[in-house]
Amino acid sequence: MQVNAARVSCSMTRDYSDRASLLRTLAAVVAGEPVDPPAPGHEQLFLDLAREHRVEQLAAWRIGAQDRSLVPWFGDAADTLRQDARTLSLVDAVRNREITAIVASLATVEGAQPLLFKGAALAHSHYPQSWLRPRLDTDLLISPASTEPVFEALRAAGYARTTSTSGAFVVSQASFTRTDSYGVTHALDVHWRIANWQIIARVSTHADLASRSVALPALGPSARTVSEPDALLLACLHRAAHHRDSAELLWLYDIHLIAQRLTAADWTFLAAAAERGAVKAICARGMSLASDYFGSRVPTEVMNRLAAGDSEPSAIYLSKDVRLVDGLWSDLRALPLRDRVRLLSEHAFPPAEYIRKKYGVTSRASLLLSYARRIAAGVPRWFAPGNWS
């Protein structure tokens, strides 16, 4: 038994070593560095890692841009990747035309000041081709006072809001979808705060970001996005607070690309914003990982300034074992007493219309039963370690 255990241990160590080595190779390919392809027999693992980290198309594009065959890297999947690239670029072109039109329309809504941010914005501002930055939807940030007229404008454009809860504190975004005549589905995620979690949401407001916003000409004359230091701050916050300190290469490459453009003044602003928002640890962690995998150049004085953030309440989002209840507790501590009661009420008793749509209930009795079942089923999920969905 001891011999078998030793063999298993050695095998696991070797597999982990191969995986870790291939991940470093993958990061180098994504960054456009010259590296040798994986050893024969490792092509499938390399492809699996690339897909797991959502950079398979970016890696394939980098390899092709250097006039190298994809086969030594991806084996039998090389042809599939080429075909996928053609499809993705065509769909992306259709979606870009749609985004341009929608942003132009929303820009006319009084006070809305729509800002593109996160993946959709970075795809057009930092990636060599926008289709190389995968994304499930387009994120827009609008002023909190403009939600209803913006929603009405989207409905007039043929968009339908997906079923979701609502409330003053429990949620800060709404999703809309539309399928066009080509069969392409367009998904919009409309935010009025930068995050649902209270200690993250208060780091920066729409008004702050809009005052520093910059043009995004790739999506038309009406398109605007957040400034470079704001984009880096948001990328670090999103990776931690919404993805449980994920080391996914896509998130880290976003951080890397933005960091390479920051000026000395930008870095000073970023450090001050992280201090003011009490998110130094989150920013330090994101930039440290980006530096580790992509060699991101972060000024030493900035990292030193961010180093003392471990005691910040927001640092709980750097734990992969953080529970939903931990996030709730963090939210409650960030709010005054009256708002704490409202937040708990919104979590426990979402709007009746939401319950009716989600559970398909019609009678008052079944509505009450659905509330009771939802609470009973939800308690274990809130206390499950690592559950962040």
pLDDT digits (tens, 9 = 90+) for 90-114: 999 999 999 999 999 999 999 999 9
From 260, 283, 311, the end of a domain falls on 311
Same domain, 263 and 329: no
From 68, 86, 119, the end of a domain falls on 68
Same domain, 111 and 220: yes
Same domain, 189 and 238: no
**Does residue 85 belong to any structural domain of this protein?**
no
Question: What pLDDT shows up at residue 389?
Answer: 54
CA count, 13 A, side-chain hemisphere, 229:
17
Boundaries of domain holding 284: 227-311
pLDDT beneath 50: ranges in the chain? 1-15
**Does residue 93 belong to any structural domain of this protein?**
no
Same domain, 168 and 219: yes
Beta strands (DSSP E) in 271-319 are: none
**Does residue 139 belong to any structural domain of this protein?**
yes
Question: What pLDDT shows up at residue 388?
Answer: 61
Q: Decide: 194 and 237 in contact? Cβ < 8 Å.
A: yes
How far are the Cα atoms of 26, 69, 225, 293, 302 from residue 287, in angstroms, in the given order? Answer: 19, 33, 21, 10, 10
Same domain, 297 and 345: no
**Does residue 101 belong to any structural domain of this protein?**
no
From 38, 68, 98, the end of a domain falls on 68
- Rounded Cα distance between 381 and 389, Å, is 9
**Strand ranges across the sheet with 173-179:** 160-161, 173-179, 185-191, 138-141, 115-116, 224-225, 214-215
Same domain, 342 and 376: yes
**Does residue 217 belong to any structural domain of this protein?**
yes
**Does residue 221 belong to any structural domain of this protein?**
yes
Q: Exposure string (b/e) for 112-145, b if CB count within 10 Å is 16 or more?
A: bbbbbbbbbbbbbbbbeebbbbebebbbbbbbee
How far are the Cα atoms of 144, 161, 189, 209, 271 from residue 206, in angstroms, in the given order? Answer: 8, 22, 15, 5, 19
**Does residue 57 belong to any structural domain of this protein?**
yes
Q: Exposure string (b/e) for 335-357, b if CB count within 10 Å is 16 or more?
A: beeeeeeebeebbeebeeeebee
**Does residue 78 belong to any structural domain of this protein?**
no
Q: pLDDT of 181-212, one tens digit each?
A: 999 999 999 999 999 999 999 999 999 999 99
Same domain, 131 and 237: no
Question: What pLDDT shows up at residue 166?
Answer: 75
**Is residue 138 within a helix (H) or strand (E), and if so which, with residue range?**
strand 138-141
Angle in degrees, 0-180, between the axes of helices 2-30 and 280-294, rounded to the nearest 10 = 90
Q: Is 41 left (phi over 0), alpha (psi -120 to 50) or beta?
A: left
Question: What pLDDT shows up at residue 5?
Answer: 32
Q: Say which residues have a Cβ less than 8 Å from residue 121's Cβ, sequence separation at least 6.
A: 139, 216, 225, 226, 231
> To which residue do tokens 């390919």 refer?
29
Same domain, 120 and 194: yes
Same domain, 247 and 281: yes
- Smallest CA-to-CA distance from 322 within 381, 384, 256 is with 384
Same domain, 12 and 122: no
Same domain, 232 and 289: yes
- Rounded Cα distance between 77 and 101, Å, is 36
Domain count, the chain: 4
CA count, 13 A, side-chain hemisphere, 347:
19
Same domain, 127 and 198: yes
End-to-end CA distance of the chain: 40
Question: What pLDDT shows up at residue 14?
Answer: 39
